[in-house]
Each structure stands twice: as C-alpha cells, then as structure tokens.
Amino acid sequence: MTWKSYAVVSGATVLAGWLASTPPANEPEGAAVVSRQPDTPRDAAAASTIEHEADRLRVRVRREVDYAQPQRNPFRFGALRADVDRGGDIPAPAAAPSEPPVVIPFVPPPPPVKLSGIAEDEKGGQMERTAILSSPSGVLLVREGDEVLGDYRVGRIESEAVELVKNDGSILRLSLKP
C-alpha cells in the first residue's frame, strides 16, 4: 500500500463519517416544550418524588463555616499552647531563660572492627598471640604493638580479648563472643 492509497482510504473514511453524522436539530424560537404526562401511577409517583427532592435541595443551602484555628499543627512537635488566641495570630514566643544551653561533647563512635579469633604459638618457651580482626577493609592479623586502622595500636592480647589503644590514650577492649 502506498501513500496515495493511504490518503484515499483516509479521505473516504472522513467523508463517510461526516455524511453519517446527524447535525443537531434546530428548533424554532417560539416552539413550546411539550411535557409528557405520566402513563402509569408509578411514573406519577416517581415524578412527584423527584420534584419533592428537587424542592428540598433548593431550600437546603450550605451555610458558610467561619475559620477556626486548627487543634494541632502537623508541622510542629508538641501540643498547641493554651495561650494561643483561637481567632487571631499565634503570639510571639516568650523570652527564653538566661541559662546556658547544655553542651554535650562529641564522642566519635568506635571503629567498625570485631575480634574474630586469637591464635597462639609457642616459640622459645614464650607464648606469642596473634589477634584476628575483621574490619571493613578485610581480615587483619595483628600482634602487640602493630597499628590498626590508623588511629589505634594493639596494646595487649589476652587469651579471650584484645586491647586497642587510641593515640589519645583511650582504650577499646574487644572480646570474643561466646
């Protein structure tokens, strides 16, 4: 099928649709609308019910509701204060007492490292221990004095625990879980 045949088929479809459609009826201006009389008593009852409902709806007018301050504010935490004027604006907050705010010092979280195990090896009559640590960078095998995670150094390795000493002197104790 070529573009010419598409054009012919489309034109024929538009022409057929235009001829098949009926134009709106134009009534003369002076024509009176004839109301149909109900044929049965049931139609008469339905018509009277509809007229009754239409009259009721015409009388019932929605009254305007005055604006009222909402009971809560979803954007503010806590209950609504009692000193708020319900009809007006929210008053300015009272001056805060002169007490200085409490400052909580920032304590950095401990490093994400876990003690996975401890290996013991006897050399020359002395027990040498190696701690097996799991960290985000992988598995670390460390001995006493080795640096771990940049800020920590292995202080002491016991049979069930390892002490990591931070550069500022604080101690982090990791123990094996039962």
pLDDT for res 139: 92
Alpha carbons 157 and 130: distance in angstroms, whole number: 7
Q: What is the pLDDT along the chain (178 residues), one digit of tens a residue?
A: 788 898 999 999 998 888 888 676 666 665 555 555 656 777 777 778 888 888 887 766 666 677 888 777 788 776 555 555 455 555 555 665 678 888 888 877 877 889 999 999 888 888 899 999 998 889 989 999 998 888 889 999 998 999 999 888 888 899 887 6
* Main-chain phi, psi angles of 28, to 5 degrees: -65, 155
Alpha carbons 149 and 112: distance in angstroms, whole number: 10
The neighbour count for residue 14, using CB atoms within 10 Å, is 10
45: enclosing H helix or E strand = helix 41-59
CA torsion, ordered 145, 147, 151, 154, to nearest 10 deg: -40
Eight-state DSSP code of residue 176: -
pLDDT for res 32: 54
pLDDT for res 21: 83
| Six token digits for residue 101 | 């705010």
Residue type, position 132, single letter: I
Task: Spell out the domain ranges in the chain.
Answer: 114-175
pLDDT for res 91: 57
pLDDT for res 167: 86
Q: What is the pTM of this model?
A: 0.41
Per the CB < 8 A criterion, the answer to whether 142 and 133 are in contact is yes
Write the DSSP string, 126-169.
EEEEEEEEEETTEEEEE-TT-EETTTEEEEEE-SSEEEEEETTS
Three-state SS at 92: coil
